[in-house]
Amino acid sequence: MQRLIAILGLTLLSTVLPGEVATASPALGFDLDRATIPQLQRLMDRGSLSSVRLTQTYLDRIKTVDVKVNAVLKVDDTALAQAKASDQRRRSGHSRGPLDGIPVLLKDNIDTRGLTTTAGSRALLGSPPSADATLVARLRQAGAVVLGKANLSEWANFRSTHSTSGWSGVGGQTNNPYVLDRNPCGSSSGSGAAVAASLAQVAIGTETDGSIVCPSAANGIVGHKPSLGLVSRTGVVPISLEQDTAGPMARNVEDVAITLSVLQGRDRSDKATLAYPSTQPTDYASAIRPRALRGARIGVWRNAGVDKDVDRIVERNVSLLRAQGATVVDVDLPYQAEIAEVEFPALITEIARDLPIYLQHRPRAPQTIQALVDFNRRDPVELSKFGQELFEQAATAPGPDDPTYRRQRQTTTTLARRSIDETLAAHHLDAIIAPTNSPAWPTDYTAGDAYILGTSTPAAASGYPSTTVPAGYVGHLPIGLSFIGPQWSDAKILSLAAAFEKAYPIRHAPRYLPTT
């Protein structure tokens, strides 16, 4: 067994560092934190591992480790039965592909048959959705084990101007597993923290602006925000159908690429998915080129001067990219101030338009923004940490036919696309890199989130792809590097990110420190 694991490149059981929670499992014989999906599949194909054993190991970790992190809202009681069915398919020669038997967590704003889907709000605690979101159906068709639901920032962090990321009325506060009193960032906070803590092999997050890439970077993992339209949003609680997308989060780029291959697909119920070109790859992992950085032209959007420690990490990353054969030039993305003025008010109108449409298939929930506002005022938990200023604005927001709103949306999308497209063209670039985040801040319900540096808006508002990869640490706190590209360049961006990850495998498992 040990010889087989060594051949497959898995890390054998090792000494646990002070403060670290072991991810090396005696039951499995290797380190979960470093195992990739292809390595797990080879073990299962050869009979050295079963999906049941793998799933049970993750369930055991949720019981023991999640008391520190509080990332998992609900475990699916059928997870082991799903795993058993996967093992039976494999024995009969009918495995469904690389995700068959792999445990996946879902952010709790993604409809899941038989599991409550709440967006973190107690207003949605009633009956579970009657059907899976399209992306969940695709995961099930691929044989993935739906392990359960991950906590999130309530209503995807779009309820209050002074919210605290990682808190929901249903799940309470998710903690950053690297330093537990630090914030996990972004609305996909539970997905990011769970993957970092090896509570699932893969998780699915969602993003409107930053909510995949920020929690991925802050929790030291890989996250991919796809091109808008690559992944169906049907059955996902919305903020804005102009910017929302779901995407994969994992501990390595290869697992993210494999999962994206399953999530991708056209859906007649989501017209955005009908727009992507037929030339898009169906297997993103196979599209990864090991030497993708050689000969590539990369623009670096430094955001220098915001955080000196991040500046040092970016400069080190630039030197690394050049050593791998890339040409790196400094760039400054234009129009950011203009975008910042109009994106937010546009989103207010869009949640007022899109959320009530979703609520129609949750008939036991409040059906309007105003009804949600009223529910929260009556509830003993919902307003206990911060308010609902954004919901109150949305309740009286101008409609989608309002001329001011239409100008705001057109300006947001157009300038975000121009900021990327014009920069790429002017410097003949393959991609743009930027620091994803500054170090995670202490969770503080009085002050709320303390964002210092974020670079998610150009890709988010344009609908273009972005992949964040672990790039360094400030003390014990992870920093990510984002690879941003033009529309439908997901395969190229993942390939560049994978080459960077291979050249600089800096990520390590969290140590669950109580404070810095």
Instruction: Give the number of other CB atoms < 10 A from CB of residue 387.
Output: 15
Nearest residue to 454 via CA among 351, 339, 293: 339
d(CA 224, CA 460): 11
- State how far the Cα of 255 lies from the Cα of 33, in Å rounded to an integer: 12
- 211 assigned to active site: yes
Q: Render 82-146 in DSSP notation, one character per residue.
A: HHHHHHHHHHTT---STTTT-EEEEETTB-BTTB---TT-GGG-SSPPSS--HHHHHHHHTT-EE
For 243-276, the three-class secondary structure string (H helix, E strand, C coil) is: CCEEEEEECCHHHHHHHHHHHECCECCEHHHHCC
User: Which residue among 95, 187, 227, 438 is the active-site one?
Assistant: 187
Number of C-alpha atoms within 13 angstroms, CB side, residue 134? 18
> Do the bridges between strand 172-173 and strand 167-168 make them parallel or antiparallel, or are there none, so unpaired?
antiparallel
Under DSSP, is residue 74 helix (H, G, I), strand (E, B) or coil? strand
CA-CA distance, 173 to 166, in Å (whole number)? 5
How far is residue 180 CA from its own chain's centroid? 20
Comparing C-alpha atoms, which of 204, 101, 198 is closest to residue 152? 204
Is position 240 annotated as part of the catalytic site? no
Q: Please, which residues have CB within 8 angstroms of residue 316's CB and are 6 or more apart in sequence?
A: 472
Rg (CA), the chain: 21
> Looking at 153, 211, 216, 466, which residue is catalytic?
211
Instruction: Please identify which residue in the block is written with the tokens 């500054």.
Output: 438
CA dist list (Å): 149 to 77, 126, 296: 11, 15, 39
From its phi and psi, is residue 128 left (phi > 0), alpha (psi between -120 and 50) or beta? Answer: beta
What distance in Å separates the CA atoms of residue 476 and residue 480, rounded to the nearest whole number?
A: 13
Check if 63 is active-site.
Answer: no
- 512 vs 84: CA distance, rounded Å: 32
Catalytic residue (choose from 25, 51, 95, 107): 107
Q: Which are the catalytic amino acids? A: 107, 187, 211
